[in-house]
Amino acid sequence: MRRFLPCVLTLPILLLSGCGTPEQEVSPDPPTVTEPSADDGTVTEEPTNEGEEPEEGGEAPVGSHRDGSEYHFGEGAVFPYPVGAYEEEFQEGVEEDVVYTVDDVVLSPSGRVAFTLTVEVPQLGRVFGTGLLDVRCSYEELEGPATSEARLGELETGAHPVDMECEAPDSPSSVLISVVNGEDEADFRGPVG
């Protein structure tokens, strides 16, 4: 009984102090920064992105390059899709992001470039098709298709990694990996580890 009593006495203290440290508490509204406007002297408030941290491994946050620029390995290429099982059920203005990522790019013992392509599928209310998926590797003068023993097919909600390989010239220092799936197109470039 003596061991149980101190635990019971600490319960009100835990309840009063909350379930986390101030650093862990989440604010429903982001902090705002007040900045004077340069032209008319009025003050505008804009949300800040304080507290946002990079993705795991210190990489840049997931982003969308609509200007045709290239992604780095480990960076997510984002493509919005409407939510709903059928086109007539799509909810107007409601979209979720499908994210493609290329990482773990290395020269395999067989002299081929090996990498992992991951397709992250959100809750769309339907499966996500990859029947039109085409992945290619490009070097200075050489280009060829990426191959895999596994097929992605129709994907349920979740992350779907697939290991792929490409032919490679002798000891390539970098590679451009192009991922095309229907209208989704993203180029990833980086060093070969």
Other CB atoms closer than 10 Å to residue 18's CB: what's the count? 10
- pLDDT-derived band at 9 (thresholds 50, 70, 90) equals very low
Q: What is the pTM of this model?
A: 0.66
CATH 2.60.40.10 placement within the chain: 52-191
Nearest to 144 by CA among 168, 123, 128: 168
User: What is residue 22's predicted lDDT score, i.e. its pLDDT?
Assistant: 39
Confidence of residue 93 (pLDDT cuts 50, 70, 90): confident
Which homologous superfamily does the CATH classification assign to the domain defined by 52-191? Immunoglobulins (2.60.40.10)
Rg (CA), the chain: 24
Q: What does the pLDDT average to over 159-181?
A: 94
Distance CA 94, CA 122 (A): 12
Q: What is the pLDDT of residues 61-92, one digit of tens each?
A: 345 555 567 999 999 999 999 999 889 999 88
What's the whole-number mean pLDDT along residues 106-129? 95
pLDDT in tens, 22-50: 333 433 444 444 444 444 444 444 444 33
According to the model, what pLDDT value does residue 73 have? Answer: 96
Helices within the chain (DSSP H only): 4-17
The pLDDT of residue 4: 43
